[in-house]
């Protein structure tokens, strides 16, 4: 998994808290500040959209698994959470994603192409939900 929002924000503090040796000042420190600034901007996007993205992704994966459960003999006792925190949603998401990987492997083995295509469309939606938008930084 990519780093979580708390990881990023803690990291922005940690990397600036230690000034480092003399040879890592100047140009290197300026580059580090630029990266921290970029990460802060991306973190704002994640703070705004991250919870909603995870809630929707979990709903979509669960629906895909439920729809295939009978055909593929899945034990449909997927975890759920009412907690709207990134950590709680990611924990449920990990279980759902593992089940989705297993289902997709079985779908491919059975050459169930309509369901294969539906899962590929789900992947595109999942990737779009978690999209981060790079700011149009000018070249230096």
Partner 1 sequence: MSGLQERLEAYLSRTWRQPVTVADLSRIPGGASRETYRFVARTGEGSRPLILRRDPPGSLIETDRSLEYLALESFHDRVPAPRPVAMEAEGAELERPFFIMERIEGGTVASPFTVMPYGAHARTVGEAFFGILGKIAGAEPADLPLARDGVPAPETCWSMAVDHWAGVIEADEQHPQPIVRAAIRALRRKPPPPPKAVRVVHGDYRGGNFLHDPNGRILAVLDWEMVHLGDPLEDLAWAIDPLWNPFDATTVAAMIPRDEALAIWSQASGLTVDERALSWWSLFAAVKGQAIWTSAAKEYRDGGFKEPILAVSGWYTARRHDEILAAALLRLEDLQ
Chain contacts with partner 1 (rule: CB under 8 A) = 1-3, 7-8, 10-12, 14-15, 18, 21-24, 26-28, 30-32, 34-36, 38-39, 42, 90, 93-94, 97-98, 100-101, 104-105, 108, 116-117, 119-121, 123-124, 126-128, 130-132, 134, 136-140
Q: How far is the CB of 27 from partner 1 (least distance, A)?
A: 6
State the nearest-atom distance from the C-beta of 8 to partner 1, in Å: 6
In whole angstroms, what is the distance from residue 47 CA to residue 49 CA?
6
Minimum distance from CB of 84 to partner 1 (Å)? Answer: 19
32, 99, 101, 135 from 27: Cα distances, Å: 9, 47, 44, 22
Per-residue burial over 18-46, b = 16 or more CB atoms within 10 Å of its CB, e = otherwise: eeeeeeeeeeeeeeeeeebeebeebbeeb
**Nearest CB to partner 1, comparing residues 69 and 122:** 122
């Amino acid at each position: 998994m990519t780093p979580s929002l708390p990881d990023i924000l803690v990291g922005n503090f940690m990397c600036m808290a230690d000034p480092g040796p003399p040879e890592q000042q100047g140009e290197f420190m300026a580059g580090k500040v630029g990266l921290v600034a970029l990460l802060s901007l991306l973190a704002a996007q994640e703070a705004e959209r991250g919870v909603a993205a995870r809630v929707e992704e979990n709903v979509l994966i669960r629906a895909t698994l439920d729809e295939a459960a009978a055909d593929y003999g899945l034990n449909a006792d997927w975890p759920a959470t009412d907690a709207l925190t990134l950590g709680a949603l990611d924990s449920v998401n990990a279980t759902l994603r593992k089940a989705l990987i297993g289902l997709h492997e079985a779908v491919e083995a059975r050459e169930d192409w309509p369901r294969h295509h539906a899962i590929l469309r789900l992947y595109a939606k999942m990737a779009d939900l978690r999209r981060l938008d790079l700011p149009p930084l000018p070249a230096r």
